[in-house]
Amino acid sequence: MKVLVLAFVVLTGNGGVSSAAKGPHYDASSGIPAWVDIDTPKKFYKATSSRGESWDLVMSDEFNRPGRNFTAGVDPMWTAIEMADGVNAALEYYSVNMTETVTEADGRGVFRIITKLDDISFRVYNQYKNPPGFQQSRMYYRSGMLQSWNKFCMQGGLIEVSCQQPGVTGANNPDANNPQARVTGGIYYPTWPGVWLLGNLGRALFMASTSRMWPWSYNVCDANLEKDQRISACDGNPGFGLNPHQGRGAPEIDILEGGGAAISSSVQIAPGMPDEYRPVFPINGESPYCIYSNECKTIGANTPDVPSSITATRGHRSWYQGLRYAAHVCAAKADQIQVASQINASLELGIVDNSCKLSTCPASFDVNGDRGPVDGKAGSGLYWGVNKDGQCFPVMNGYNGAYLCDPYTTNSKCTAPLHSDGNGNGNKIAPFAYQMDAISANWPVEFAAYSGYLKYQLEWVLGRRGYVRWMIDGVPLFEIPAEALESPPQNAAKSNPKKLMIEEPLYLIFNTALSTSWGTVPPNAGKPCRGDGLDPKVNRICDAYPLYLKLDYIRVWQNTSTMSVGCDPASHPTRLWIDGHKSEYEDIDNPNIDVDGNAFCNDNADCTLGGSIVTGSCSASNRCVCSAPAVCVVLWCC
């Protein structure tokens, strides 16, 4: 759950031409598709979608070549970040040299993000400080973030990532005895790794670019929301090459966010639902964090439409409807086995208790979820939302979004403003105050996620019949159908905004964060890891650093007749907007530099366009060298 609008940063423009300017995308003379790694075996050039369609490989990186350099302007697909993480109560400083490719002892080539102990002092400008100004800051961890921003973007597709999450697998970790056992969580999993996608109009960590851009997916001219959405459908002349009357933004899809005992998979989207479609906010001094343990005393605060009387009182359902949840194979627990007929009968009678139980609610605790046969296979005995065999099962996340505000707003839903009179802004920050939604499921994970590699998959289909679906090695976990976003519950006044199924060009991000508030928390958070050095268990945990997020490969397939790659498509342009707001997307340490060629190659045919004109050649170091500046954004030359 990456809140991308609250941060401190200093931004300085650095010129250059946006990589998104280049296109279209052609295959090399050798037949290698534009973004496909030459090391990807041909047997992976096709994949079958969850709906049985044959899709084509459009992008891959096998990470087989050790020693790659991800400094800005070097790698044709990826850029590593050099800056402090200023969001989500972060504890780490991102550095380029914390990203690397290596060959492991078993011969496997992998990309790694290193997370190590450190002591970093730096000076930053904090717009959210009172008064705004420079401040001296300190972080005790150094880690890495890798982005394909403004290089490789996609609109729809199937993503597969073979990934090992960072964790302390030794140091007497009690979970290490059985790879299939469920992780118990806690101190042995101190980081917050992520594999996710974000709209190209917002560059992660560059808060000026994400303010009022993240995570909008809304194409309606709404006078009440116009000031909060930076590129609104109300604007008939937005400029910068944008399409008139098209609402734009930078929505987010999280393939995985590690959290120790569970992994979170989510869509982040705006505008969020108004209060009357959300769980009731805890009252009478009750902590708002009770939602995470499902123990709120306030009626209706734990789960949407629980108890059932909430629905009757409101006169409509709440939250997103028809979400789909299914089991992930792990060590089964007999006390979590459910029977579909019993759950259906309970829901028909109505839920009386103020919180869900496995005997009365679906295993997901989502009483509005789909309860039909998984993937329509009635004979399988498997039903969405029902934990037939007591396996690891995704549960609706208690976190359902945040109310985002500029630092000067006096809106009662926001934290105390910097200036209570609301007049201290000086037009430095455009005013905003809006709800964003996190449609999210947390699913228990086995220790193998930390000791080995799992195949995490995301399938994203655009349009009104589309969906976002999470899988492990082809087995479904969680699915959000487009209808849930575009046809939400309504009162008589139809006050619930109808979002748009995500269709922005999204880019890929890998990172490992540490936080005092998100994921799991490291020892002595906000201080050196070992604290006073007197706790033997803490010392063992801290001695286990560095920790590694590892990716064996990433591959992307698409239905090329309905999906596309590219960061500046005609349907959703970004190039001229980014070029016109350079200082919001780059700084002196993180310039936006175009890369021509430089892909790995076996021979000249891997580096040139088909035909009589030679556009590039394969160097002695097996890298594509372009004969002239490339006119399309691909890994080779054209």
Q: What is the pLDDT of residues 414-449, one digit of tens each?
A: 876 665 554 555 556 788 999 999 999 999 999 999
pLDDT band at 5 (very low <50, low <70, confident <90, very high): very low
pLDDT of residue 22: 54
- Burial of residue 523 (CB within 10 Å: 0-12, 13-18, 19+) is middle
Tell me what pLDDT residue 440 has: 98
Do 296 and 290 form a contact (C-beta atoms < 8 A)? yes
Average pLDDT, stretch 335-340?
97
Tokens of 47: 């994949």
DSSP element (H, E) containing 133: strand 133-143
Least confident span in 277-291, 450-464, 517-531: 517-531
Please, what sign has the CA dihedral across residues 525, 529, 533, 539?
positive
Structural domain boundaries in the chain:
268-405+463-501
Give the closest residue to 452 by CA, choosing from 550, 544, 545, 543. Answer: 550
Residue 131: asked if its preceding bond is cis (omega within 30°), the reply is yes
For residue 548, the 8-state DSSP code is: E
Contact between 424 and 406 (Cβ < 8 Å): no
144 close to 85: Cβ distance less than 8 angstroms: no
| Pick from 174, 200, 196, 197: nearest CA to 187 | 174
State the DSSP string of 344-410: HHHHHH---SSS--TTTS-TTS-TTS--SBGGG-GGG--BTT--TT--B--EE-S--EEEEE-TT--
pLDDT digits (tens, 9 = 90+) for 385-423: 999 999 999 999 999 999 999 888 888 888 766 655 545
Flag whether pLDDT at 349 surpasses 60: yes
Cβ atoms 248, 242 nearer than 8 A: yes
Position 520 confidence tier, pLDDT thresholds 50, 70, 90:
confident
Structure confidence by residue, pLDDT tens digits, 94-124:
999 999 999 999 999 999 999 999 999 988 8
Average pLDDT over every residue of 455-467 = 98
Host H or E run for residue 482: helix 482-486
Q: How many angstroms separate the CA atoms of 286 and 23, rounded?
A: 55
d(CA 471, CA 458): 6
3-state secondary structure at position 59: strand
Asked if residues 341 and 300 have their Cβ atoms less than 8 Å apart, the reply is no
The predicted pLDDT at position 638 comes to 65
Tens digits of residue pLDDT in 250-272? 999 999 999 899 999 999 999 99
Q: What span, in angstroms and rounded, lies between the C-alpha atoms of 68 and 102? A: 9
- Give the list of residues 6+ apart from residue 277 with CB closer than 8 angstroms, or none: 316, 318, 319, 488, 489, 496
The span from the CA of 14 to the CA of 6, in Å, is 23
**Which token pair is 531?**
């604290």
* b/e per residue 279-317 (b: at least 16 CB within 10 A): bbebeeeeeeebbeebebebebbbbbbbbeebbeebeeb
Per-residue confidence (pLDDT) for residue 20, from 0 to 100: 54
Is residue 225 left, alpha or beta, with left meaning phi > 0 and alpha meaning psi from -120 to 50? alpha
Residues 458 and 469: their CA atoms lie apart, in Å, by: 6
Q: Residue 631 CB: number of other CB atoms within 10 A?
A: 16
Q: Which of 79-88, 202-211, 338-347, 425-434 has the lowest mean pLDDT?
A: 425-434
Cα angle: 410, vertex 415, 416; to 5 degrees: 60
- Structural contact between residues 396 and 364, judged by C-beta atoms closer than 8 angstroms: yes
The pLDDT score that the predictor gives to residue 517 is 74
Given a cut of 60, whether residue 363 has pLDDT beyond it is yes
Torsion of the alpha carbons at 102, 191, 85 and 396, rounded to the nearest 10: 120
DSSP state of 161: E
pLDDT band at 79 (very low <50, low <70, confident <90, very high): very high
Number of CB atoms found within 10 A of residue 184's CB: 14
Using the predicted structure, report yes or no on whether residue 286 has a pLDDT greater than 60. yes
Q: CA 299 to CA 355: how far, in whole Å?
A: 9
Amino acid 21: pLDDT: 46
What pLDDT does 425 receive?
52
- The band of 17, judged by pLDDT with boundaries at 50, 70 and 90, is very low
In tens, the pLDDT along 129-180 reads 777 788 888 999 999 999 999 999 999 999 999 999 999 998 789 999 888 8
Residues paired with 56 in a beta bridge:
46, 558
- Rounded to an integer, the average pLDDT of 537-552 is 96
Closest by Cα among 338, 271, 252 to 495: 271
Contact 101, 65 (CB under 8 A): yes
Radius of gyration from C-alpha coordinates of the chain: 24
- Report pLDDT for 27: 85
Q: What is the pLDDT of residue 9?
A: 38
Q: Is the pLDDT of residue 456 over 70?
A: yes
* pLDDT for 7 beyond 80: no
